[in-house]
């Protein structure tokens, strides 16, 4: 009997152990799937508008292109040296052929400024005489700065700085009277450019609320004479009790030739 009980006990123990092993073997294992993800591209942090620059505007004339390219420099010079931006731009257009002349292309010289003791780079160009010496610059902006210094540091141009910055007509006439140009029509050419392309608006932009549209005083209008056919400098001087020399000085004239329609100052 004892032997039978022992056999039953061993059988039960063996069955119990086997069932535990099966239970352990059948314990579900946690399955993890490997998910492969494509690497994301780095976020775009740059402003697309800043990367794609706006296309440069197109212009129907070289004058418009010149004004667009250099008006800011002219305004900066006006803020620093009190020379109207309209005058600087008009002179640049006229002297450089709107940036197409040889001096401006090869020497960045936009105002035809000659050497006059210049120690920098030089270029030689036919002007009043053959192969005259002109200043050469690394960048056009230095030409604009030298133009400002040329006018502001020479005593013969000091009278210009007593004029209002809005008075582009006074500046145009004063430049020729001070000897900047020999062409009698130089002031008219500058004024024509300023008014045709509204360059005075750049003066207004610099001066802001201080800008006052300049009107020539009535006294100076009454003190002028418009040249008619048959007029001579001598005859006009006698009419207004002036000498020929006085009339020449008032109008910055070096000779005695006149043009029909030319406006002369006949009273100081």
CA distance 99 to 94: 9
Closest of 209, 200, 205, 251 to residue 88, by C-alpha? 200
Going from the C-alpha of 137 to that of each of 9, 34, 37, 112, 121, the distances in angstroms are 115, 68, 60, 12, 7
Closest of 197, 208, 225, 74 to residue 141, by C-alpha? 74
CA distance 224 to 234: 16
Q: Look at domain 60-215 and name its CATH class.
A: mainly alpha
- Measured in degrees and rounded to the nearest 5, phi and psi for residue 255 equal -115, -165
Q: How far is CA 153 from the centre of its chain?
A: 23
Q: Is the fold of 60-215 the same as that of 218-268?
A: no
Closest of 33, 150, 10 to residue 91, by C-alpha? 150
Tokens of 172: 């145009």
Which CATH fold would you assign to the domain 218-268?
A: Membrane-bound Lytic Murein Transglycosylase D; Chain A (3.10.350)
Q: Residue 134's beta-bridge partner residues?
A: 114, 123
Please state the domain extents for the chain.
Answer: 60-215, 218-268
Q: In the chain, which residue ranges form alpha helices assigned H by DSSP? A: 2-25, 48-51, 62-81, 85-96, 102-107, 140-152, 168-177, 186-196, 200-207, 218-222, 233-239, 244-251
pLDDT in single tens digits along all 268 residues of the chain: 656 666 566 665 555 555 554 544 455 455 544 544 444 544 444 454 445 556 768 888 999 999 999 999 999 999 999 999 999 999 999 999 999 999 999 999 999 999 988 999 999 998 878 999 999 999 999 999 999 999 999 998 998 999 999 999 999 999 988 889 888 899 999 999 999 999 999 999 999 988 877 654 433 445 788 788 788 989 998 888 999 998 888 887 878 888 776 778 888 7
CA distance 130 to 91: 23
């Amino acid at each position: 009997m004892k032997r039978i009980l022992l056999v039953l006990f061993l059988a039960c123990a063996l069955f119990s152990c086997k069932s535990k092993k099966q239970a352990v073997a059948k314990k579900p294992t946690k399955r993890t799937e490997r998910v492969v993800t494509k690497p994301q591209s780095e976020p775009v942090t740059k402003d697309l508008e800043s990367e794609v620059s706006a296309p440069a505007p197109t212009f129907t004339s070289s004058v418009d292109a010149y004004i667009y390219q250099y008006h800011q420099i002219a305004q900066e010079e006006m803020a620093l040296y009190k020379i109207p931006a309209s005058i600087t731009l008009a002179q640049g257009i006229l002297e450089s052929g709107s940036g197409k002349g040889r001096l401006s292309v090869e020497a960045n010289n936009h105002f035809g400024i000659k050497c006059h003791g210049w120690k920098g780079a030089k270029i030689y160009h036919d002007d009043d005489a053959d192969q005259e010496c002109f200043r050469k610059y690394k960048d056009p902006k230095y030409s604009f700065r030298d133009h400002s210094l040329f006018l502001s540091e020479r005593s013969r141009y000091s009278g210009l700085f007593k004029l209002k910055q809005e008075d582009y007509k006074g500046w145009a006439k004063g430049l020729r009277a001070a000897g900047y140009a020999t062409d009698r029509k130089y002031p008219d050419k500058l004024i024509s450019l300023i008014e045709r392309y509204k360059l005075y608006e750049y003066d207004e932009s610099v001066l802001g609320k201080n800008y006052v549209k300049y009107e020539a005083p009535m006294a100076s209008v009454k003190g002028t004479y418009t040249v008619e056919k048959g007029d001579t400098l001598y005859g006009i001087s006698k009419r207004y009790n002036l000498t020929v020399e006085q009339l020449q000085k008032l109008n910055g004239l070096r000779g005695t030739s006149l043009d029909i329609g030319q406006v002369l100052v006949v009273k100081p």
